[in-house]
Amino acid sequence: MRIHVQNPADETVFPITPQQWDAAIARAPDMADLQVSFASDDAGFAAAMADAEAIVTWTKVVHQRFPKGALPGVAPKLRTIFCTSAGLDRLAPFDWLPEQMTLLNNRGTHAAKAGEFGIMALLMLANHVPWFAHDARQGQWAPRFASVLAGRTVCVVGLGSLGGAVAARAKQFGMHVIGVRSSATPHESCDEVVAQSDIDSVLPRAEFLLLACPLTPQTRGMIDARRLALLPRGGKVVNIGRGALWDQDAVCDLLESGHLGGAVTDVAVPEPLAPESRLWRTPGLFVTPHMSSDDPATYNDRSLDIFFENLRAARAGQPMPNRVVPDRGY
Amino acid sequence: MRIHVQNPADETVFPITPQQWDAAIARAPDMADLQVSFASDDAGFAAAMADAEAIVTWTKVVHQRFPKGALPGVAPKLRTIFCTSAGLDRLAPFDWLPEQMTLLNNRGTHAAKAGEFGIMALLMLANHVPWFAHDARQGQWAPRFASVLAGRTVCVVGLGSLGGAVAARAKQFGMHVIGVRSSATPHESCDEVVAQSDIDSVLPRAEFLLLACPLTPQTRGMIDARRLALLPRGGKVVNIGRGALWDQDAVCDLLESGHLGGAVTDVAVPEPLAPESRLWRTPGLFVTPHMSSDDPATYNDRSLDIFFENLRAARAGQPMPNRVVPDRGY
């Protein structure tokens, strides 16, 4: 099978290297017959697309190289597109994807890192760290005391790789975990799970709310001003999903009004945030620059392992576990 | 037995209330015969000292009410002083304490809270949070990526209630934990333990260094510029003990030079820090205002439980477990 790896031309932290590929093959000897090429430029891409059957690449490359109508023309033999991202909202709507082609994401890659970031964010909020960051700008030593997480309630929206890992850490710290996902199917790390359509019923109990779901037409704008107001006074919020999942101006407004007790967000609209954005200046809000879930020490290794698991499933006539369902958006 | 609780006049967060006392007695029915009084003023203190056999109070109250030479005169029947703090460095040297009198601290109270703060600080450092706090002041969106804690080495100095709890959390996250304490006695949450006199031998391996020991003549200034330089380049440091355990100017210097990769400190010299202190302005340094280990929801309950455990030990003719050894300083 003929595979092509197309790295973005400007990528310095996460390019997939031939060494990483060889190491992944060493972990998956049944994949040793794959023929692979690497490129980061136009010429390498064009040459490879003549006979590539699968491409391993970035959402931004897919967005740029496969506009609506380009496929199958630019890559006549291509059947599988593997994106090294979990959230493919940038590629929606999926009308550029021919029906016979399979789009895969790398969900599973981010779990360990996302779980650590998530519990860190909950601990930072419990410990008033976003407020201390603002006090520091004025050189103000202003103690606020804090309680442990045990026994407190967190609502985790999205129970995939990211949210599931955060829920597991939250349980480890003795929290009461309410999960929210598309259906109310139980989850091993949650004390309760409700369907997204029932989220309003649990928000009044959510001392902490953490967003870790994909951005789809069903989740866009889900946490609006009305739902933020349903949180108990002093409620604390985290977003490691996508900025458009919530109304970020409403988050700022409710921090300023005192209804919210703190916020940590790793995502924003737009990214990068402009220097003049109010998100940088709102007391109680801590911004990290979209780095919560990507561990450079393991990212490409895990992505390639997951890619090979999917090829293995296809060879065995099984469904590919990372297949993105275009109508669902993830 | 006649007990007096003296709260500081200005204390709003942590005063011990009669309700908390009654609840603690309900948990310890064998203490129901204790006679207790409460005060926060001079008159109440003076009246109680006539016959009090034990006092439950703050280090700052002890410092103010029992200057050298005052005891036993001001409190002729007093035999036991229980301080609702773990670190009694403020009361050193202990030449004000008559030999026949027992000084107790509340070690054990802080464990759960300190463990959470400690692992939060390690996660914040791993995730570059102190740097993002400074980027936010300029409205600068500047991603830095981060790896998980698993497999990385932390050196925890002090394995009492605070350091032991942090070591346990660090193990839970898969870290390699090196403990440092007065002697090299093994500890259940540490992979290795070395004596304080051997600390230089482990610092070059300490990607993270966390200080959680008491401030004594033996530990004052222990982490000086020379020892900070022994840390590997990019080493990250946390202080939840006392500001005078390290050279805080050297920490700032080595952050500025790039040798250190980040710092979180909950303690400083002096406290409160002045608005013009360089600690507020040094990129990579995050200051919290001495709140790491004090959980107001449980603090007094645990302190009283510990006080009663000590009285129970004394009644049984056993050594009191929280007795402070003046020569040792903790």
Q: Which of A116, A141, A277 sits opposite B123 (nearest CB)?
A: A116
Decide if B76 contacts B27 (C-beta within 8 A).
no
Q: Give which of A95, A106, A100, A92 is closest to A56, Cα–Cα.
A: A106
Between chains, do A147 and B298 touch, taking CB under 8 Å as contact? yes
Decide if A175 contacts A182 (C-beta within 8 A).
no
Between chains, do A132 and B286 touch, taking CB under 8 Å as contact? yes
Residue A86: which residues within 8 A CB-CB, separation 6 or more? A105, A106, A107, A109, A110, A160, A161, A162, A214, A293
CA B328 to CA B194: how far, in whole Å? 19
Confidence band for A321, pLDDT divided at 50, 70 and 90? very high
Between chains, do A143 and B112 touch, taking CB under 8 Å as contact? no
The number of helices, as runs of H, and strands, as runs of E, in chain A is: 9, 12
Contact status of B275 with chain A (Cβ, < 8 Å)? yes
Confidence band for A137, pLDDT divided at 50, 70 and 90? very high
Contact status of B270 with chain A (Cβ, < 8 Å)? no
Q: What is the mean pLDDT of residues A307-316?
A: 98
3-state SS track over A69-132: CCCCCCCCCCCEEEECCCCCHHHCCCCCCCCCCEEECCCCCCHHHHHHHHHHHHHHHHCCHHHH
Between chains, do A112 and B296 touch, taking CB under 8 Å as contact? no
CA B75 to CA B100: how far, in whole Å? 13
Radius of gyration of chain B (CA): 21
Chain A from 108 to 137: CB within 8 A of any B CB: 112-113, 116-117, 119-120, 123-124, 126-129, 132-133, 135-137
Instruction: Quote the mean pLDDT of chain B.
Output: 97
Contact status of A289 with chain B (Cβ, < 8 Å)? yes
Give the tens place of pLDDT for each residue, A236-251. 999 999 999 999 999 9
Query: Closest approach of chain A CAs to the CA of B43, in angstroms?
Result: 30
Confidence band for A8, pLDDT divided at 50, 70 and 90? very high
Among all residues of chain B, which has the CA nearest to that of A288?
B132
Q: Which of B138, B146, B281 sits opposite A295 (nearest CB)?
A: B146
Decide if B287 contacts A132 (C-beta within 8 A).
yes
Give the β-pairing of A208-211 and A192-195: unpaired
CA B82 to CA B93: how far, in whole Å? 17
What pLDDT is recorded for position A3?
A: 98
CA B187 to CA B194: how far, in whole Å? 10
Tokens 């606020």 map to which residue?
A: A144
Q: Give which of A20, A96, A100, A17 is closest to A64, Cα–Cα.
A: A96
What pLDDT is recorded for position A167?
A: 98
| B142 contact residues in A (CB cutoff 8 A) | 289
Between chains, do A275 and B138 touch, taking CB under 8 Å as contact? yes
What pLDDT is recorded for position A211?
A: 98
Instruction: Quote the mean pLDDT of chain A.
Output: 97
CA A25 to CA A33: how far, in whole Å? 9
Give the tens place of pLDDT for each residue, A69-122. 999 999 999 999 999 999 999 999 999 999 999 999 999 999 999 999 999 999
CA B293 to CA A140: how far, in whole Å? 20
Between chains, do B149 and A116 touch, taking CB under 8 Å as contact? yes
List, in order of start, the domains of chain B with CATH numbers.
2-109+298-315 (3.40.50.720), 111-287 (3.40.50.720)
Mutate: best of A109, A123, A134, A145, partner B, most B CBs <10 A: A145
| A139 contact residues in B (CB cutoff 8 A) | 273-277, 280-281
Q: Which of A13, A148, A275 sits opposite B116 (nearest CB)?
A: A148
Q: Which of B13, B137, B291 sits opposite A137 (nearest CB)?
A: B137
Which H or E run contains A295?
none
DSSP for residue B31: G
> Around Cβ B177, how many Cβ atoms within 10 Å?
25
Across the A/B interface, how many CB contacts are shorter than 8 Å? 149
Provide φ and ψ at A151, rounded to 5°.
85, -10
What pLDDT is recorded for position B289?
A: 98
Contact status of A253 with chain B (Cβ, < 8 Å)? no
Q: What is the mean pLDDT of residues B20-33?
A: 98
What pLDDT is recorded for position B230?
A: 98
Residue B327: which residues within 8 A CB-CB, separation 6 or more? none
ipTM reported for the complex, 2 dp? 0.96
Query: Closest approach of chain B CAs to the CA of A311, in angstroms?
Result: 28
What pLDDT is recorded for position B326?
A: 93
Give the tens place of pLDDT for each residue, B84-116. 999 999 999 999 999 999 999 999 999 999 999
